[in-house]
Amino acid sequence: MHHANPEDVSYEIERFTWEWDEGPLQGRELAPIPKDTVVRIVDTTLRDGEQTAGVVFSNREKVEIAKLLSDAGVYQIEAGVPAMGGDEKEAISEVVKADVSASIMGWNRAVVSDIQASIDCGLDAVCISVSVSDIHIERKLGKTREWVLDALQRTVDFAKSHGLYVSANMEDASRADIDFLLKFAGKARDSGADRLRFCDTVGFLGPFQAYDRIKLVEDDVGMPIEMHMHNDFGMATANTLAGMHAGARFASVTVNGLGERAGNAALEEVVMALKYIEKHDCGFDTSMIRPLSDCVAKASGRAIPVSKPIVGENIFAHESGVHADGVLKSPEIYEAFSPDEVGGIRQIVIGKHSGGHALRAKFREFGMDLTDPQEAAILEQVRVRAVEVKRPLFDKELMYIYYSVAGPEGHK
């Protein structure tokens, strides 16, 4: 088998070509997101994120999170559901009064009284959410497609008459009849809505299907589109990026991927993927990712999984001998970006899979240089002990093994 010289491999991907045996994408080229395109981040941690089963943010926490999001460069913050009234309405009003630079949006049903509740909070933007799939229209609402279009027209008219920015949310768009989806989108445009929100409500799309649907809507309607992807099949971030390639220019996200069921597209994943995979800077301050992630984790009571992309504590932890050796020689060998960029810390972990290079590096952190015999003896005991305790070893455990090998004076 021929192995290409690594120096011959180009990592700058100008375009992709998806070739299907059948279907509308056959032979279609997928061009990069244009460099001069403005991609805007819309964060819904305070609304969809709080709808995670068992999660509740206090008013103070909502304001704190909103300030961090705005400082980081989020374009628009979906602060909650004003029609709930009570503490929810008060919290949204407090976010508005916090005088953050981001636009503040409220979530609404296609009901005039909902829009009025958003106006009462002092919001400058509203999203009006209407079901567009037949399963939702018939089984959830008990209505007809005609009712959906009338409700959209009525509420968009009311919102625009009060000077609000309007996002027309197409709930369950991924399972909607495409002809009706396009009819709804056209109605939203003609009614004066500022953008469409394409909601993959049950995370039912893959990136190929997401691209295809967004391209159809974009080509037919020609108005700004927001990707609001759920993660039921683990593809929310990929679907968001696919939509960007198809013409969407708004990415709906939540910090740490909070959200109902499997959650939403994670802010940190979308922002970093745009920057490093798409080579597209969306104006987000990545140094704010760690403070945001930690703040939301604490407020939500949802610990960050150790292997969570971008923010998990194991993302920059290296144990395998081959990996640790590579990172010690040049971090870029096994790290896609520097941990400093997102407030992470590189760790060389000593355990069952560690090699001599990593072990020597670890002991140099302690100000100690191992001899060849010490390295071999310690590594043997490390592997035995790691299997016994089923984890990497702590520094104290390493020192205990060192002295058991080298003696109290540090030598045999």
Q: Which amino acid is at 220?
A: D
The whole-angstrom separation of Cα 310 and Cα 341 is: 10
- Residue 223 token pair: 């108005």
Superfamily designation of domain 17-300: Aldolase class I (3.20.20.70)
9, pLDDT greater than 70: no
Q: Please answer whether residues 235 and 203 qualify as being in contact, where contact means their C-beta atoms are separated by less than 8 angstroms.
A: yes
Residue boundaries of the structural domains of the chain: 17-300, 317-406
Q: How far apart are CA 323 and CA 335, in angstroms?
A: 10
What local confidence, expressed as pLDDT, does residue 76 receive? 98
Collapsing DSSP to helix, strand or coil, 41 comes out as: strand
What local confidence, expressed as pLDDT, does residue 227 receive? 98
- Measure the CA–CA gap between 412 and 102, rounded to whole angstroms: 65
Q: What percent of the chain has pLDDT over 70?
A: 91
Tokens of 237: 């971030």
DSSP state of 266: B
Each residue of 341-383: pLDDT tens digit?
998 888 888 889 988 888 998 899 899 999 999 999 999 999 9
Give the list of residues 6+ apart from residue 20 with CB closer than 8 angstroms, or none.
26, 208
Averaged pLDDT score across all residues of the chain: 90
pTM: 0.86
Say whether pLDDT at 215 is over 60. Answer: yes
